[in-house]
Structure 1
Amino acid sequence: MGIRSFAADLLPAALQGRPRQLPAMAPAVGTAPTEVSSFAELADKLGYLGKADLKKVRDAYKFADEAHLGQFRASGQPYITHPIAVAGLVADWKLDAQAIMAALMHDAMEDCGVTKVELIERFGAPTAELVDGLTKLDKLQFSTREEGQAESFRKMLLAMSRDVRVILIKLCDRLHNMRTMEAMAPHKRARIARETLDIYAPIAHRLGLNQTYRELQELSFSFIHPWRFGALQKAVLRARGYRRDIVSRVHDDVVAAFNDAKMKVEVSGREKTVYSIYRKMEEKHAGFAQVNDIFGFRIIVQTMPECYLALGVLHQLYKPVPGRFKDYIAIPKPNGYKSLHTTLVSPLGTSVEFQIRTEEMHAVAEAGIAAHWLYKVGQEANPGDVAQRLGALWLKSLLDIQDETRDAGEFLEHVKIDLVPDAVYVFTPKSKILALPKGATPVDFAYAIHSDVGDHCVAAKINGEPATLRATLNSGDVVEVVTAPGARPNPAWLNFVRTGRARSKIRHYLKTLENEETQALGQKMLAQALRAEGLPLPPQEATEGRPSIWPALLRWSGNRTPADLLTDVGTGKKIATIVAKRIAQLLREQGQVPDAVTLSLGRYSHDDNAPSQGLVVIDGSEGGSITLAPCCRPIPGDAIVGYLGRGEGLTVHTADCSVGKRLFERDRERWMQVEWSEEPIRAFETAVSIVMRNGKGALAQVAQAISSAEADITHIDMGDEAVGTTAEMRILVSVRDRQHLADVLRTLKRSPAVLKVQRVKPS
């Protein structure tokens, strides 16, 4: 059997001794298609379309040409050259006529005032939906550029979840813009390049579009760090000459080995991109000379079993580096990538990486989901359906995140987390494989299985051994999650989860819980304020012979629902007494009069210094809607008052708190009466200052004294002063009430290590 050998990018230069000069701003990263600049050139690329489709594309071109008439790019070229070039890049992937038409008209709605209705009438709904998905939301008013970009990005990704062609066209649009950015101002180039590197290049990688991914990375790097890019590019060119003999010898050895094995393969050279070399240098804190796997080889075989036969041939030829073999055929990457990776030690002691794959695997490796249009992989009837299925898992996670996240900036943050390219592969107890980002934890694993599993997880086992929920997962781990019906997400999980899905689910739960607590607080406050008017809180539904006052109340308040109004009362955006007076007026208009018994229940002090709203009872179960002020840290037994901040909920201060007194003088109408429940359900933190002798075991004696008083230490602060014969320490102790605190202070005073102890109060 024979062997074909070629060496794209690397070997022609290395073997023939003629290093190929790279373009200054657009380094070669594979065979880049030729750009088109006229419709005639574009039409030459569209031979795969039928005559009817070609006519539709021509009509779309004429429409776009007329729409962009008189517009020019920063380079001075007519603007229509950009849509034509984008359509040419889309045509290189053999996408259908609708996608080509959308590429030609992708800026028509945004820059030319064309409406979606007009596009639907002329070119049909599918094409109009594609164009709309690509249109930024510039016509809406946003407070910042970042907010507008985030909202536009969210719109595009949601359109992509319905039709993957949206993101393919957008990537072609971004690629052409990156190739032609020299005419723009340097600060704009750097901003667009950073956005490309952070968002669009990772999306291309996530969808398996590796050629596009590499070029976007290279171009972005060249605009963000032009000097570093130029220096490394020259170093790579020099290295080709220095390592010519190594590459030539390894190539000849590999060709000979496969000839001896009578295997028909294609051997091609592969060179790391300048950006990937830069990343490796950063990660390893190494110089260019220490990055020794700049060159590698790719082996293309005919069938999948031959991948493993080729691996055996290579391992017989050179010794493999332990731990550097990866089987992406048995466990493909989430974007569908399949290949065998192995690193071998060459005769001259350098490490050389080999990738082994079939032609079909190579097509998917380079073009990702676009390969299903470009190569008709698997000869499917509808390549678009296949591509949509390939991206289905990630697209589904986008929709899940969207459901839980209403803020565009937060949505973009979650998506960026999910774009991390490195992955670990872990197993469920039933041997199902899950791909998670590097650094993922059992909580990420739980939410990847199901949101209910994540919400109720309490513990985990990794490879049969108990593990913490913040443990880092490694490839090959078997993970088991333990759940409990009463368990709920912990806010502390946000500090270590890695997936956007887990983060959005946790945040959504906490926001929902906080809204429910705030709404309940608002209802309690409004009911107590109405008692002062001698009226009960009216029902939201109409009763016998009496219509509900809530529609009129909502029109007055500007809220959409009663829940929104109660939430505003609970967060302090609206004052309960003012809302209560409006309710009383509406009820009087219906003929309802105050009730004497209710009025007597609502009476409270008429002292001018008394807070102006009804009483709220504090028992420790209030959650995020009520905060104990960190300046005075009140505990049961303290005289307390409540301050209803604007949008911050209720903050409880001690009555003698100096901070609280200043707020009271400034904003009296926002104060309300609060009192402790007779039976609080938890312990409360307060601050204690201790002056102690500095000696061996002093801290242990203090801890022992607090423990013997049945209290817990939650925080210790020793300050930054140099330690002398005495030391001052501030601690937070968790106590039941003032009596319990007094017991703790007495016990501390009896300790031989303690000179002075007192409760800390704001000055």
Structure 2
Amino acid sequence: MSEVIQPKTLKELISLRKIPYSSKRIERISKAYAMAKKAHQGQKRKSGEDYFVHCVETAATLVKMGLGSITISAALLHDVPEDTEIKLEEIEKEFGKEVAFIVEGVTKLGHVRLKGSIEEYYLDNLRKMFMAMAADIRVILIKLADRLHNMRTLEALPENKRFRIAKETMEIFVPIANRFGIGEVKGELEDLAFKYIEPEKYKHIVELETEAYKLRSQYVKSAIRELKEELKTSGIKLIDVHGRAKRYFRLYKKLEKYDMNVDKVYDLVAIRLVVTTVASCYETLGIVHKKYKPLIGRIKDYISLPKPNGYKSIHTTVFGPEGKILEIQIRTERMHDEAEFGIAAHWIYTQGRTWKDIMFRREPRAAEVPEKELEWVQQLKQWHTETGGQTDEFWRSIKIDFFKNHIFAFTPSGDVIELPEGATPIDFAYRIHSEVGDRAMGAKANGKMVSLDYIIHNGDLIDVVTSKDKKLPSRDWLRFVKTAHAQAKIKNTLRKGGVRVVGSK
């Protein structure tokens, strides 16, 4: 788990970036730093810290992601209009419309208050967050960084507030960080939320991992030494190699599957090998398997088939030194940065082929984030409109279609369709096109006929059989379709066809 670096000065803050800011951008950040420091002067947080520390810590998370001076300035100023005498108009005058727009977006997200049930509160918060994402993704990146520092200092609040904030973090902020592929932030948020939601279990897991890590660290060091020598001999350039301990909450979830038997968790400590190219990743895999015997069925190629959040890497489990089981992860530097910082790193890499390139380029703007990266946000916005914003259907859209575990299935032409676990051929059909869904008559999975309520497995090749004569979907499909998208499309088509629809599952 990476060490949390707390910058105490402006110089320390800007030095956290992998590639230095230009003098012009340092000037902008310095100006925002000075304004925020002056505006929050004398203000304290519940922890007793100066309020300005929170502004700097929020910005620090984003500096480490490599984000530009506009985002960092907005992060430093994100609480100024809400908690000080300085108004948004003054921020716009000093920093321009773009910084002011982002600050205003973060301020609006802070206006959600607990009214009615917890679910209604979460829903209202989610609505606002997704609408903000669709407008400018940087608003949510700042909000995630803001929440991360709030979670780090949660101890200062009363127990009932700690629990509520931790629960909200696990329900809302962790899934959003995960969908954006920001592994570093997602992992820490999960651990901190776990600490306050299940304090006894958290304490037990920390003790368990600490002891297990001591026992395993020695042969991990031996494996690293042997792999370095082997790769050097084979001419593979290693950018980095290190051992990493599994995060506490992830370890807890895995132990639940194995009756809390830590000996069955092979990736409690894993070795990461960071190499220069994709070709080197596969060459390295061959070298690793030549050195250490692999476990059958334990190779996962997330480079050929990335996870839904964009995660890429090769994972293999081997019999390492002393015959002990060990997981090894192989990736390029870009894959590593994207695994840690998700959409922020992807954003930077699309601006230039290497981190050095960004020194000579203008700042990326929200509109320049690749369309695919925000497709799911736009899709959710569309479904929110289609369902009329009804609480139960919108909530289902988020909880099932976006935040649950996902699988991949293939069309006959080789296109990849992403679906939540438990999805059926009808969900698959509507993900391709509403006409394919409406006219579906049958389906094949891997060349064999299956029922329309068949549960699709990861990697299945699905072929939907359609009929030109068929105009309307079956009302019975509402009983088994998994996605809110398919539900909304089926209901909409049936209503247009004059068929009465009474509720859904």
What is the rounded CA distance, in whole Å, between the counterparts of 2:113 and 2:162 in structure 1? Answer: 24
2:434 to 432, 439, 451: 451
Amino acid at match of 2:209: V
* Alignment partner of 1:371 out of 326, 345, 359: 345
* Gap regions ≥5 residues in structure 1: 1-28, 518-620, 626-763
What amino acid maps onto 1:354 in structure 2?
A: I
1:490 Cα offset (Å): 4.9
| Cα separation, 2, equivalents of 1:60 and 1:147 | 36
Q: Which residue of 1 aligns with 2:144?
A: 171
Name the CA distance, whole Å, in 2 between partners of 1:62 and 1:123.
Answer: 13
Once residues 262 and 622 of structure 1 are traced to their aligned partners in structure 2, the CA distance between those partners, rounded to angstroms, is: 68
Instruction: Render the CA deviation track for 1:599-621: whole Å, top value 9, x for unaligned.
Output: xxxxxxxxxxxxxxxxxxxxxx7
Alignment of 1:722-737 (within 5 A): none
Deviation at 1:133, TM superposition (A): 2.2
State whether structure 2 residue 103 is matched by structure 1 residue 131: yes
Structure number with greater Rg is: 1
Q: How has the CA–CA distance of structure 1 residues 56 and 242 changed in structure 2, closer, same or farther, with 3 Å as cutoff?
A: closer
Per the TM alignment, residue 174 of structure 1 is displaced from its structure 2 partner at its CA by 0.9
Take 1:308 and 1:43, find their aligned partners in 2: how far apart are those partners?
Answer: 36
Distance of 2:484 and 2:326 partners within structure 1: 35
Query: Which residue does 1:442 correspond to in 2?
Result: 425
Name the SS of the counterpart of 1:391 in structure 2: helix
Shift of 1:289: 3.6
Partner of 1:93: 65
Counterparts of 2:293 and 2:319, CA distance in 1:
6
The structure with the largest helix share of the pair is 2
| Structure 2 CA distance for aligned equivalents of residues 402 and 195 of structure 1 | 21
The counterpart of 2:383, out of the listed 373, 380, 401, is: 401
Deviation at 1:215, TM superposition (A): 1.0
| Alpha carbons 1:133, 1:156 under 8 Å: kept | no
| Candidates 400, 404, 408, aligned match of 1:417 | 400
Amino acid at match of 1:223: Y
Q: Which residue of 50, 58, 78 maps to 2:50? A: 78
Structure 2 residue corresponding to 1:430, chosen from 409, 413, 421: 413
Q: Would the aligned equivalents of 2:216 and 2:269 in 1 still touch at CA under 8 Å?
A: no
Secondary structure, in 3 states, of the residue corresponding to 2:51?
coil
Q: Does 1:185 align with 2:169?
A: no
Answer whether contact 2:81 2:88 (CA < 8 A) is retained. Answer: yes
Counterpart of 2:287 in structure 1 is 313
Aligned to 1:274: 248
Letter of the structure 1 residue corresponding to residue 306 of structure 2: P
> How many residues get paired?
490
**Partner SS for 1:293:** coil
Change (3 A) 1:342 1:509: same
- 2:122·2:172 contact (CA, 8 Å) conserved in 1? no
Q: Is 1:283 aligned to 2:257, yes or no?
A: yes
- Of 192, 207, 231, the residue aligned with 1:258 is 231
SS of 1:471 mapped into structure 2: coil
Corresponding residue for residue 227 of structure 1: 200
Cα 1:402–1:285 change in 2 (3 A) is: same
SS of the aligned residue for 1:182 comes to helix
Task: Select between 323-332 and 494-503 the one with higher mean Cα deviation.
Answer: 494-503
CA deviation map 1:613-668 (0-9, x unaligned): xxxxxxxx76549xxxxxxxxxxxxxxxxxxxxxxxxxxxxxxxxxxxxxxxxxxx
Unaligned runs of 5+ in 2: none
Q: Compared with structure 1, are the counterparts of its residues 246 and 499 closer, same or farther at alpha carbon in structure 2 (3 Å cutoff)?
A: farther
Deviations 1:82-108 (A, max 9, x none): 122212222222322221222122234
The equivalent residue for 1:36 is 7
Q: Distance in 1 between matches of 2:142 and 2:254?
A: 31
TM-score scaled by structure 1?
A: 0.58
Q: Does structure 1 retain, via aligned residues, the 8 Å contact 2:410–2:416?
A: yes
In 2, Cα distance between equivalents of 1:502 and 1:117: 44
Maintained 8 Å contact 2:406/2:419: yes
- Any conservation in 2 of the 1:208–1:365 contact (CA below 8 Å)? yes
Deviations 1:479-537 (A, max 9, x none): 11233464545565455444453345456667x66xx97xxxxxxxxxxxxxxxxxxxx
Alpha-carbon offset, residue 233 of structure 1: 1.2
RMSD: 3.2
- Give the superposition deviation at 1:181: 0.6
- Structure 1: distance between partners of 2:113 and 2:260: 47
Deviation at 1:311, TM superposition (A): 1.1
TM-fit CA distance, 1:131: 1.9
How many angstroms apart in 2 are the aligned matches of 1:56 and 1:301?
35
**Cα pair 2:431 2:486 within 8 Å, conserved:** yes
Does the CA contact (< 8 Å) of 2:14 and 2:63 recur in 1? no
- After TM superposition, the score normalised by the length of structure 2 is 0.86
Q: Which moved more, 1:380-389 or 1:413-422?
A: 380-389
Superimposed CA distance per residue, residues 100-124 of structure 1 (whole angstroms, 9 cap, x where no aligned partner): 2221222344445876555444533
C-alpha deviation, 1:172, in angstroms: 0.5
